[in-house]
Structure 1
Amino acid sequence: MTVRFGAVTVDWLGLATIRLAGETGVVIYVDPGPEEYGVLEGSNPRDGDLILVSHDHHYDPDSIRRVAHGDAIVVVHESIDADEIDRIDERPEDLPYDVERVRADESFVLGPLDLFTTPAYNDPDGPHVDERGDPYHPEGQGCGFAVTVDGVTAFWPGDTDALSYHEDVDVDLFLPPIGGTFTMDRREAAELAGVTVPDLVLPVHYDTFPAIEADADAFVVDVANRGVPVVIDDQ
């Protein structure tokens, strides 16, 4: 799915993978995922200037290599530990790029880009917990990313519940997960969109596998009824 929004072209490439390309030529990938999820299947664009990785579930060195060019900067949440990920044995610092670790809830500048992070987690007393009652994403184990590209501030909150932190986020393009189970669902995301009132909502992180199937059409109606523009993948 490709959307033109202001000076930025936005592609949702499956699961949580988002590509942002500004008119000035900068290209950003958020949480690049593996081909098994249909993300850039058979393609190795290697055009990414900045790669953002929100937490360990979305850390995949092979996917980073597929999208990053040789001089790319890779920004990962501070908690990502390859030793704790069954399928991974390569630390972020071992990647052939300039790698930076970030905390949740901080602001920084990378060249022409302004970025900030937000906390991303599941409330242990909420619905997004496993069979033991443990949150799928504990507090402190991930973040959301907002990045301003050519005057457009795009915000991916990460794999998270809708949190009070999000209500004060001032963004132009909101990219919420709506699949539920591991994140906020479509109703929670629509409510949050109604509070933050972005200029456009483009939902992601749904329909990749059964546990995160969502009624995207119902989400569109819910968001539109709140007076917020919204677009979805129409495949």
Structure 2
Amino acid sequence: MKIKYLGHASFHIEIDGIHLIVDPFISANELAKDVNIDSLKADYILITHGHQDHVLDVEAIAKNNPDTTLVSNYEIIEWFGQKGLSGHPLNHGGKVSFDFGTVKYVNAVHSSVLPDGAYGGNPGGFIVTAGSKCIYIAGDTAVTMDMKLIPEMGHQLDLAIFPVGDNFTMGYEDAALASDFVKCDKVMGCHYDTFPPIEIDKVKAKAYFASKGKELLLLDIGDSILI
């Protein structure tokens, strides 16, 4: 599984030649100006919630990849369905099998409204399992006790992707606590530095994780890791 950071909370995940895009907010992100959305491959687009900084480029990427399948909650899939895009709706606690593995939709504590003001359903996160690999994409959220259920349900995570920018989501201190809850000491941070309220001291954030015996990955936009 190859995971590339596209800025903010956006990722490209490649699993055995199948391409997933997560929460695409690229074209309006000055920090991601070197990412060309027209070149992105997408067999699936995973959407955690309806805020513009997570759905902005869904339509453009989907139109460049006409066979793509959107995966999100029922309300978001219905909203994009009215725009002619196809998707698979989930609700909290549900999972679905695709050709690359399984996706389970889990709780997040945040808000959700679509760019035109339409109801965006309840926000969530995703547990993506492909073969022996399992990652947790938390979406925009506070740290929650529900996270303790993830290992209780048998998910042994290779990576947790957490927002660390504070203000609109949990900060890196709470993300370190969340990593305890999900029993995963390898964390990739997202949702930081895009706007002034979520700028962080990256050196301090990494040092805080290290003091807890954990690793915080803060990738440069365009960089990738393999798990």
Normalized against structure 2, the TM-score is what? 0.79
CA distance in 1, matches of 2:214, 2:67: 38
SS for the counterpart of 2:176 is: helix
Partner in structure 1 of residue 61 of structure 2: 66
What is the identity, as a one-letter code, of the residue corresponding to 1:29?
I
Instruction: Encode CA deviations 1:183-216: one digit per residue, 9 max, x unaligned.
Output: 1111100111133232521101100011111222
Q: Give how far 1:30 is off.
A: 0.8
Q: Which has the higher helix share?
A: 2
Residues 1:93 and 2:87 aligned together: no
List runs of 5+ in structure 2 lacking aligned partners.
Answer: 112-118, 222-227
RMSD of aligned C-alpha atoms?
2.6
Partner in structure 2 of residue 115 of structure 1: 103
Residues 1:220 and 2:214 aligned together: no
Q: Give how far 1:151 is off.
A: 2.7
Partner in structure 2 of residue 10 of structure 1: 3
Residues 1:25 and 2:17 aligned together: yes
CA distance in 2, matches of 1:150, 1:217: 34
Partner in structure 1 of residue 116 of structure 2: none
Q: Give how far 1:81 is off.
A: 8.5
Partner in structure 2 of residue 141 of structure 1: 122
SS for the counterpart of 2:76 is: coil
Pick the aligned partner of 1:48 from 42, 46, 49: 42
Q: Give how far 1:146 is off.
A: 1.5
Check the 8 A contact 1:104/1:140 in 2, yes or no.
no
SS for the counterpart of 1:202 is: strand
Deviates more, 1:154-163 or 1:92-101: 92-101
CA distance in 1, matches of 2:18, 2:121: 30
CA distance in 2, matches of 1:230, 1:211: 20
CA distance in 2, matches of 1:119, 1:213: 25
List runs of 5+ in structure 1 lacking aligned partners.
Answer: 1-7, 83-90, 124-137
Normalized against structure 1, the TM-score is what? 0.76
**Structure 1 residues 140, 98: closer, same or farther in 2, change over 3 A?**
closer
Deviates more, 1:203-212 or 1:148-157: 148-157
Check the 8 A contact 1:19/1:30 in 2, yes or no.
yes
What is the identity, as a one-letter code, of the residue corresponding to 2:163?
P
Aligned residues: 204
Q: Give how far 1:227 is off.
A: 2.3
Check the 8 A contact 1:120/1:142 in 2, yes or no.
yes
Check the 8 A contact 2:21/2:42 in 1, yes or no.
yes
* Identity fraction in percent: 24
Q: Give how far 1:120 is off.
A: 1.1
Q: Give how far 1:114 is off.
A: 0.9
CA distance in 2, matches of 1:151, 1:179: 30
Partner in structure 2 of residue 4 of structure 1: none
Check the 8 A contact 1:51/1:64 in 2, yes or no.
no
Residues 1:193 and 2:179 aligned together: yes
Q: Give how far 1:11 is off.
A: 1.1
